[in-house]
Amino acid sequence: MIIHQKPTFPKNFVWGFATAAPQIEGAGREDGKSESVWDRYARQPGTIHNNDNLDVACQHYHLYKEDIALMRSLGAKNYRLSIAWPRILPGGDGAVNQKGVDFYHRLFDTMMENGITPWVTMYHWDMPQVLEDRFGGWRDRRVVDAFANYAQTIVKAYGDRVKNWITLNEISCFTYYAYGTGVKAPGLKLPEGIVNQTYHHALLSHGEAVRAVREYGGPGARVGLTDNALVGVPVTETAEDIAAAHAYFIEANCRTFEPIYRGHYHPDYLQSAGANAPRFEADDFKLISQPTDFLGMNLYSGLFVRAAQNGAKYEILDFPPSYPQADNTWQKIMPQVLYWGPRLAVEICGAPAIYITENGCGYNDAPPVNGEVHDLHRRDLVRNYLGELHRAIRDGVPVEGYFLWSFMDNFEWDEGYARRFGAVYCDYQTFKRTPKLSARWYSKVMAGNCLL
């Protein structure tokens, strides 16, 4: 007899959706919000696909009640969102904007009424432009004090209802890609030494955010970073290729994980950076390496690695042209990153618990037909990724939750609104939301706590 055994997730496993303020809220200039670096960057013609901008986005600022009700109807009990710094402190620091503060009070209250637990990212790339203008944003150490003040402000304001805090989202995307390659706001191409310094200031700001949660978060508050670690998947799961995956993970992620988990920069990093190494002060690493409660991982894709023949620690394989990928150009489909990412982070860094704070895929989904969007491609992709996550848990990796990116289609940074990551379709003319097939499927997965 054949018995269908559904892969079941641990009791109390956290299931939810994820979004970020700048990508969904809109209301770019309403109720006292100031311009963010992304607002400014998007207004420069040619930077964003189709010259899209963030002014209106999904109108979530005005439609949040409907959005939370829809989330509830899909059975989500957790929602990862971010707070917009320029809404809370339009001047970067200084006076608090009460209307901005009140918006998130209303949002959290609505979530509570609907039985949805908030997971709040303090910073999802929307630095107030005024700080970029005043001292160069992440380039100047003054940003650390400004961020500390912002973190304390929001933890004090919302700490009674928010118990899960994420300090920063994907450091490399607002440092290296923002000041180095220039593909993200503020879109600058500056020398390596400056970029390394932005990274150091981000690490310090993470430390300040951890401190804010410890001091003002109240009982039960937890905090962690969300990182987009680079993950090498062993081509063959042999001891040699697994060792190669280890070596790659250590090297590729040392700029984040060595300071945070070991309290210093990796000597190899300092040596290779040479004169471009970041300047730091003696006590910096005490702040940076304070213990956290979990590591958030945003995992979409990776690389294949294997043992090298030439004495190197690993060899990276090129993707052949036929290798499957999503419509977003950077996402090779690699479900195994949800196995290897958490496993390597735990084995190498000793992260106490892992949450997948983002996973999903970008496709050019067609509009609904008869109220339906048959995104079988997304359903299948997520299902395969979750299978690998389940394997990690079965092997003893402490993965405690999963957030699907994204709740609804939204502003996908330089790819604008064309690239859709949502489980819910957003019509940008009418702002009508239509749950896609993947949302209906995911709803059942969350309800059953198992892969269906």
- Residues with a known catalytic role: 170, 358
First to last CA, the chain: 20
Of 171 and 242, CB closest to ligand NOJ: 171
CB of 279 to ligand NOJ, least distance (A): 28
For residues 216 and 213, give the distance between their C-alpha atoms in angstroms, rounded to a whole number: 5
- For ligand NOJ, the closer of residues 206 and 306 by Cβ is 206
Of the candidate residues 47, 167, 169, 196, the single one contacting ligand NOJ (CB under 6 A): 169
Closest Cα to residue 359, out of 284, 247, 259, 445? 445
**Cα–Cα dist 344/302, whole Å:** 13
CB of 17 to ligand NOJ, least distance (A): 13
Q: Residue 122: which H helix or E strand, with range?
A: strand 117-123
Residue with tokens 């959706």: 17
Residue 159 or 341: which CB sits closer to ligand NOJ?
341
CA of residue 353 relative to chain centroid, distance:
16
CA distance 418 to 328: 10
Choice between 169 and 256, CB closer to ligand NOJ? 169
Q: Least Å distance between CB 64 and ligand NOJ?
A: 18
Per-residue mark of binding to ligand NOJ, 18-57 (x: CB under 6 A): --x--x----------------------------------
Q: Where are the beta strands (DSSP E) in 299-398?
A: 303-306, 315-317, 354-358
Site membership for ligand NOJ, residue 126 (CB under 6 A): no
* Site membership for ligand NOJ, residue 170 (CB under 6 A): yes
Quick count: other Cβ atoms within 10 Å of Cβ 5? 7
**Rounded-to-integer distance, Cα 62 and Cα 281, Å:** 44
Report, in Å, the least distance between residue 151 CB and ligand NOJ.
19
Tell me the β-bridge partners of 164: 119, 222
Shortest spacing between CB 1 and ligand NOJ, in angstroms:
43
Q: Site size for ligand NOJ, by CB under 6 A?
A: 9
Task: Find the shortest distance in angstroms from Cβ 232 to ligand NOJ.
Answer: 19
| SS3 per-residue string spanning 5-66 | CCCECCCCCEEEEECCHHHHCCCCCCCCCCCEHHHHHHCCCCCCHHHCCCCCCCCHHHHHHH
HSE value, Cβ hemisphere, 13 Å, CA-based, for 178? 27
Per-residue x/- mask for ligand NOJ, residues 5 to 24, rule CB under 6 A?
A: ---------------x--x-
358 binds ligand NOJ (CB under 6 A): yes
Instruction: Report the site for ligand NOJ in 398-437 (rule: CB under 6 A).
Output: 405, 412, 421
Measured from the CB atom, the residue of 290 and 410 that comes closer to ligand NOJ is 410
Supply the minimum distance, in Å, between the C-beta of residue 421 and ligand NOJ: 6
Closer of 169 and 198 to ligand NOJ (Cβ): 169
Q: Quick check: 400 and 354 in contact, CB under 8 A?
A: yes
**Based on CB atoms, which residue is closest to ligand NOJ, 52 or 170?**
170
What are the DSSP E strand ranges found in 134-213? 164-169
Task: Based on the shown chain and the rule CB under 6 A, indicate whether residue 298 belongs to the binding site for ligand NOJ.
Answer: yes
- The reply on whether position 365 binds ligand NOJ by CB under 6 A is no
Question: b/e per residue, 232-259, with b = 16+ CB within 10 A?
Answer: bbbeeeeeebbbbbbbbbbbbbbbbbbb
Q: Which residues bind ligand NOJ (CB under 6 A)?
A: 20, 23, 169-170, 298, 358, 405, 412, 421
